[in-house]
Copies of this chain bind each other. A is one copy, B any other.
Amino acid sequence: MEGKEQLERARERVIDVVAQNMDLYGVTDSIGRLYGMLMFQENPMTLDEMKEELGMSKTSMSTSVRTLLELKMVDKVWKKGVRKDLYKAESDWYQNFIDFFAIKWRSAISENVLEMKKSLVELNSLVNRDDVEEELKELANSDINKLKNALDYYDWLNRFVDSLESKEIFELIPMKKPE
C-alpha cells in the first residue's frame, strides 16, 4: 500500500512548484496551491472539501475560489441534486494564459492608455501656449515623445492580446501536437 504515497508524492511536487510560480499570475501561494490541488481532482469540489483538503478556513476557500473564477482558472459546475457549489480547475493551460492577458493585461493597457492620452492633451496645450518659456516647451516635447512611444507599444500589446484571444497566435507559434 505504498503506491498511494508514491502518487501523492508525485502530485505534491507538482502542486508545490505550480503554487510557487503562480505569482506570475498575480496570485498568492495559497491560491496557487488551491489551483494545483484542484487540477488533480477527478471530480468538481465543494468549498468544504477544499477546506478539508488544504486545512484552511472555508472563508479563505470562498475568497480564493472567487479570485480564480475572476481569472477564469476555475469554473463553477452545476450538478443535479447537489446543493453546494461545485468548482473544477480549468485544465487548458493555453486558455489560462490567454485569459490572463485578456483580463489583467488588457485592463492595465486601457487604463494606461487613457491616462497617457489625457497627459498628451495637456502637454500639447502647453507647447502651444505663448506665455511659456522655450526651455519648458522642450521638456514637454520630450515627454510627448516618450508618451507617443509608450502608446505605440500599447497598440502593439493590444494587437498581441488580440492574437491570443482569436487564437491566431497559434498559427504563428504552433501548439505542439500531442503525439
A interface, CB within 8 angstroms of B: 3-4, 6-7, 9-11, 13-14, 16-18, 20-21, 23-24, 26, 39-40, 42, 91, 93-94, 97, 104-105, 108, 111-112, 114-116, 118-119, 122-123, 125-126, 129, 131-133, 136, 139-140, 142-143, 146-150, 152-157, 159-160, 163, 169, 172-176, 178
Contacts and interface: CB of A to CB of B under 8 A. Distances in A.
14 contacts: A3-B126, A3-B129, A7-B126, A7-B139, A10-B126, A10-B140, A11-B119, A11-B143, A14-B119, A40-B146, A149-B178, A160-B173, A163-B172, A163-B173
Nearest to A132: B3
How many copies of this chain does one complex carry? Answer: 2
